[in-house]
Amino acid sequence: MDIDYITKNQEEHELAVIEQNFSVFRRSFRKNDIIMRHTDTENMIGIIVKGLAFLLSVTEDGETSIIDYYERGSVFGKYLAPDSDINLYYIIAKNDCHVIVLNHEKLENIEPVQIKTINSLITKSFRRCQMHIDILSCRSIRGKLTAYLKYMKNKKNSDEFEIPLSLSDLADYLSVDRSAMMREIKKMKEENIITVNSRKIKLNL
């Protein structure tokens, strides 16, 4: 059986368990709404069920960077965000988002199967964070691009996939200059390493 099919079914099952048991805690956010600030006192855990959200870092000088992004099934929370007294972190809705919100203290009262499901989603989020660290450790723009595209290839279990980010947001996420990244993408296309059609990419490696 196709691995991607199994993975998608598992993710949908996990979300179905969460939605069935915690649907009363669902919240909706419009584009550019702040979903959570790192300084919030509420010990919340959020799970994206629809939409795309960014974890942003803001320096004292007002410079903003994309630290992570959250799609359907992604978990975020105060204790899952970076802990820093230097930068401000907050999560913003990139488009209309539906989020299941759980209070950390109330997790003690839920069933073991629900705890197992939440832990599975949290583990996947930690793995994605580790992947981002690995990508940022690459020194060249091509290295970062290739690492990210290989991650997407493995995630989708296909040479062809659609990235969830715009190219401008991808440059921010990879911490590279957008113009320099576009030049590198052009070179990779000319070398037949990738085929690009808007956000749809085929990796020929």
CATH number at residue 186: 1.10.10.10
* Total Cβ atoms within 10 A of residue 203: 17
pTM above 0.85, yes or no: no
The confidence score (pLDDT) of residue 82 equals 66
Residue 69's nearest CA partner among 111, 131, 117 is 131
Confidence of residue 119 (pLDDT cuts 50, 70, 90): confident
For residue 153 the two structure tokens come to: 């290839």
> Which residues constitute the domain of residue 19?
3-125
Q: What is the layout of strands, in order, in the sheet containing 75-77?
A: 26-29, 97-103, 44-50, 75-77
For the stretch 70-114, pLDDT in tens is 998 888 887 776 666 667 888 999 999 999 887 666 666 666 666
**Poorest-confidence range of 28-32, 83-87, 114-118?**
83-87
Q: Are residues 13 and 71 in the same domain?
A: yes
Q: Are residues 75 and 151 in the same domain?
A: no
Q: Where are the alpha helices (DSSP H) in 137-204?
A: 141-156, 167-174, 178-190
Q: Are residues 181 and 119 in the same domain?
A: no
Residue 39's nearest CA partner among 4, 89, 82, 74 is 89
Q: Are residues 82 and 37 in the same domain?
A: yes
DSSP-assigned letters across all residues of 80-135: GS---SSSEEEEEESS-EEEEEEEGGGGGGS-HHHHHHHHHHHHHHHHHHHHHHHH
Rounded Cα distance between 12 and 148, Å, is 24
For the stretch 158-170, pLDDT in tens is 999 999 999 999 9
- 135 inside domain: no
